[in-house]
Structure 1
Amino acid sequence: MLGLKSCLAILIGYVVAVCALFSSKGRNPSLNNWEKLKDQKYSTLDNFGLTGHSLLQFFQDNLAILGFSEEKVHHKRSSFYYDVFKEYILRGANSKKCSSANSAIAKLNKDVNPMPVHSHNDYWRKLPLFEGLAYGARSTEADVWNIDGKELAVGHNEASLDPVELTLDKLYTGPLSKILDEVNCQDSFSNSKNGVFFNSPETSLFFYIDFKSDDNELTYKLLMQKYFKPLIDSGYLTYYDMKKEEVSWNPITVILTGNYPTSLEVLDNGNDDGYFNSNQRFAFLDAPLLDLEPKYSNLSVTTTVSFNELMRHCGSDHWKVLLRGHIGSDEITCAKKVIDEAHALKLTTRIWGAPTWPFNTVKTISHQIFHDLGSDLLNLDDMFMASSLI
């Protein structure tokens, strides 16, 4: 974190720069000068090398300065913080620069290791996608609604939808495409693509798409043809190789959940060789952990269960564990057996709905879920708390 003196120095520098512009250009500086000032601010910030939580905190503490602009502010997400942060993070990607060391991913998580956490309701965060990546969350999610068969809006319920600004493309697939292009722009001896974690480029980001609309077939069609096609063409999506009968891992792994279609006729667009006739299936089903079948080894890479369902399967429940403050030995033995069976099918396990308070209980149970049960992912809402638990 920056000290008070450093922050004051930056503030003074920006004020001096602004005053200089006004004194030389009167009260109406040209847009070109404002763009130079903005670039100067961001270049100065680059030099500090802030990343992860430190970068997020710095933006929140200095938002008024970093977002200083001649133009009237237009909140594309009803959040000035998001607009300014996104502009800074994607600045290099938008300019088509080819430098992994100065990339958006380097800014987001250069000093952060991936953590086995699912960014629950990620679109509710102040910085959808970016906050989870800054903390190193290995998994994220977006709830999607089909708007007149033309757009997929992201939101928890219909009342909060904005089909113009809060879309899957603007919040997720567009930024993902840009930041991945930025770290895959140089010739490489390897056929593998670099992913969204600077310290672990081989680690794939699980991207859960939660279907909310009734017409799930049309939603799936939009997903594949409009939103995921650019990522597929760039080789960024994990796929199931239908000829080799194995998974080929890439930077982003799409998981369908919620009201998703399950028919292979829909998933493969009526073709025997995949949606795009390439012998590849680019979306995986989120398998039910307590009702696994052998078929999921070909259709899924993840399996999910709620904490309460898992505990009830083991003769207990959420409240008993919460009051006790830890998972009991019999519960661990039972739950671990379930998770081991999923691992035997090569499925990554995810648990949601575990206790979220008090902190010491959350810490104890989270540790048990990872180390005693052997689960791979845990839903958590508070990324800062999650980073202190793992």
Structure 2
Amino acid sequence: MRIIYPRACFPTAKIAQRQPGDGASSPLSFVSLVPSLAMRATVATALVFVSSVLAVTKPIHSHNDYTRAVPFWTAFNLSVMSVEADVWWQSSQLFVAHTSGDINRSKTLQSLYLDPIMGILNGSRAVPTPISVSNPIQLLIDMKTSGSSTFPPVAAALAPLRAAGHLTTYDAATGTLRPGAVTVVGTGNTPLASVLAQNPPRAPAAGQTWGPHIAPLASVDFGSVASSAQMQELVLNAHDLGIKSRFWNTPAAVGTWNAFWAAGSDWVNADDLLAVSNAWAAFSGALVPTRFEYTGLDAQKALERREL
């Protein structure tokens, strides 16, 4: 397995601003850690990476999914295949809660997310459209307690998914990602040092800092974006590195959601999943009258930008 590090926002910022915890190295398989930093600089190296690792037909992310009356299933039943869980390591348990004061002993990472996901994958939970490599789910794990204490138990909790071959993994020998039915992205206090230890990069291109092996997802505060032109440039910068994009702290308005999709942003943060799903249906239907396969990546546009 591999935790992917998406705390690093758009691949334009310096990651050294935050000191990751030491964290014990483990044979994880998160795909990455999300480094969410301020994406404002220019990217020195462009790398077009047309991959289906996180390709989706409905680019919607269930924001604070664990706060819903029915976590995971509300999103899944609407075909929203990206969810997040804030995780606290306390009393030898991985609890899911917004703050430490909200911890409910019945709500754990295992019960709310890992058990349902594994149940769908092994067929014990019958659903119309199962999770698969062609219909993958993305799970963001936001570590709220220290990375050094939380990373090992999270890795252990993900071990059954790893052993069954369901997790997206990085092959250091070939420098390639193997798409899985489940992609886990570490955020918050996920220790970059531990992720790097279990995701040793393979001869990166000159000047390249970020790539999908470490940060397949870039997240940034929408409030820091000054214009639609800057928003699209940030998205393209991320795509040039093979990294998908997500903005948070976003207005809940159809016009805003449409602007994100028009710019090619891969994930729209959603609190009202039904409203955003309806907006996406209208947006995608206006683009193509038949089935619209959204990838959020225009390879030709990326190539043209590099030729300018």
What TM-score comes out, normalization by structure 1 length? 0.52
Deviation string for 1:330-371 (max 9, x for gaps)?
x22222111111101111111111112xxxxx1111111101
1:114–1:200 CA contact under 8 A, matched in 2: no
8 Å Cα contact 2:96-2:103 kept in structure 1 = yes
Q: Deviations for 1:9-44, whole angstroms, at most 9, x for unmatched residues?
A: xxxxxxxxxxxxxxxxxxxxxxxxxxxxxxxxxxxx
- Answering whether residue 265 of structure 2 is matched by residue 375 of structure 1, we say yes
1:267 aligns to what? 195
The one of 308, 311, 316 aligned to 2:223: 308
Match of 1:283 in 2: none
Query: Percent identity among equivalent residues?
Result: 26
Cα pair distance change 1:389/1:212, threshold 3 Å: same
What is the DSSP-based 3-state SS (H/G/I as helix, E as strand, rest coil) of the residue aligned with 1:303? strand
Which of the residues 207, 217, 220 maps onto 2:151?
220
Corresponding residue SS for 2:174: coil
Partner secondary structure for residue 117 of structure 2: helix
- Deviation readout 1:290-349 (Å, 9 max, x if unpaired): xx96233431111111111123xxxxxxxxxxxxxxxxxxx2222211111110111111
Distance change (3 Å), C-alpha of 1:384 and 1:248:
same
**Is 1:145 paired with 2:77?**
no
Q: What is the rounded CA distance, in whole Å, between the counterparts of 2:212 and 2:130 in structure 1?
A: 29
| Gaps in structure 1 of 5+ consecutive residues | 1-112, 186-194, 281-291, 312-330, 357-361
Q: Which residue of 2 aligns with 1:177?
A: 118
Structure-to-structure mapping, 1:338-353, within 5 angstroms? 338-353=234-249
Quick check: 1:235 aligned with 2:165? yes
Which portions of structure 1, spanning 4 or more consecutive aligned residues, are displaced by more than 3 angstroms? 195-201
Deviation at 1:138, TM superposition (A): 2.4
Q: Who wins on radius of gyration, i.e. which is larger?
A: 1
Matched, 1:252 2:182: yes
The higher relative CO (CA closer than 8 Å, separation ≥ 6) is in 2
8 Å contact from structure 1 (residues 294, 345) kept in 2 = no
| Alignment RMSD | 2.7
- In structure 2, relative to structure 1, the CA distance for the partners of 1:184 and 1:251 (3 Å cut) is farther
Mapped to 2, the partners of 1:235 and 1:366 lie a distance apart of 34
- Secondary structure class of the residue paired with 1:364: helix
1:159 maps to 101
**Structure 2 length normalisation: TM-score?**
0.66
Give the Cα–Cα distance (whole angstroms) in 2 for the partners of residues 132 and 298 of structure 1: 27
Distance 1:343 1:169, change over 3 A: same
Match for 2:84: what amino acid?
E
User: C-alpha separation between the residues in 2 aligned to 1:340 and 1:351?
Assistant: 14
Deviates more, 1:332-341 or 1:165-174: 332-341
For the pair 1:202 / 2:134, whether they are aligned, the reply is yes
Contact 2:133–2:179 (Cα < 8 Å) also in 1: no
Alignment of 1:1-390 (within 5 A): 114-148=57-91, 150-163=92-105, 165-182=106-123, 197-198=129-130, 202-213=134-145, 215-225=146-156, 227-263=157-193, 266-267=194-195, 274=198, 294-311=209-226, 331-356=227-252, 362-371=253-262, 373-390=263-280
Deviations 1:219-267 (A, max 9, x none): 1100111x1001101111101111111111111101111121010xx23
- Unaligned runs of at least 5 residues, structure 2: 1-55, 202-206, 281-308
More helix by share: 1
C-alpha deviation, 1:385, in angstroms: 0.7
**Does structure 2 conserve the Cα–Cα contact (< 8 Å) formed by 1:196 and 1:251?**
no
Opposite residue 247 of structure 2, the aligned amino acid is I
- Are the equivalent residues in 1 in contact too, given 2:220–2:247 (CA < 8 A)? yes
Compute the displacement of 1:386 (Å): 1.1
CA drift at 1:203: 2.9
